[in-house]
Amino acid sequence: MNRENYKRRWVVGITGASGAIYGVTLCRELLKAGFHIHLVITDAGWRVLKEELGWDASHRQEALREAFRVAFEEEQLTYHPLNDIGASIASGSYRTEGMVVVPCSMGSLSSIANGASTNLLTRTADVMLKEGKPLLLVPRETPLHAIHLENMLKLSRLGVRIIPAMPAFYNGPQTLEDIVVFMVGKVMDNMGISNDIYKRWGE
């Protein structure tokens, strides 16, 4: 492998907040753009994938293969079980470009904000913080109480990008897909990845 290829690796985490479609759509767009994805999904994230997208959470490898068939065949996507604390991405010596947690539950956000590396997702987020790599969180919760806000402020002060799942309507969305790709496009913008998947103001 070319030693520069690590710059095409992103970690994507999907947690138990509503909005699993955001994480799945981001994965598909990153794969289309030629990135390699290291994917981590919490148990609650699997529950949301089942409830919102109809995934078979009892057969996780098969569900992922069905959703990202070509990526699996070409080894462009690596799935890491949540409890695999010895996975490559759990180490700061393994080079990636950064990590996105989308959607990000308040429980996962709290664990990250307080350095509680209790599973692979929160450990990998901790690695991003200690290594000074980009970490982007897409929280999806309402209303927000003071603890939520304080945790987000704490992380923001550490350089974490907080991108709430707040779709805009100035672009005149006509379908659910329009709303989803707006948010995914904004996330990709903050990842520093050029994209034209959503209609921008003034265009």
Does 106 belong to an annotated binding site?
Answer: yes
Does 18 belong to an annotated binding site?
Answer: yes
Strand partners, 36: 9
Does 186 belong to an annotated binding site?
Answer: yes
With b for 16 or more beta-carbon neighbours within 10 A and e for fewer, the 12-46 pattern comes to bbbbbbebbbbbbbbbebbbeeebbbbbbbbebbb
Does 199 belong to an annotated binding site?
Answer: no
Amino acid at 122: T
In the chain, at which residue ranges do the beta strands (DSSP E only) sit?
9-14, 36-41, 77-80, 98-104, 135-139, 161-162
Sequence-distant (≥ 6) Cβ neighbours of residue 79 within 8 angstroms: 39, 40, 41, 60, 61, 64
Does 157 belong to an annotated binding site?
Answer: no
Distance of CA 70 to the CA centre of its chain: 20
Judged by DSSP in three states, 38 sits in strand
Does 93 belong to an annotated binding site?
Answer: no
Does 91 belong to an annotated binding site?
Answer: no
Does 108 belong to an annotated binding site?
Answer: yes
Does 45 belong to an annotated binding site?
Answer: no
Numbered residues of the known binding site for dimethylallyl phosphate: 170, 186
Numbered residues of the known binding site for FMN: 16-18, 42, 105-108, 140
Numbered residues of the known binding site: 16-18, 42, 105-108, 140, 170, 186
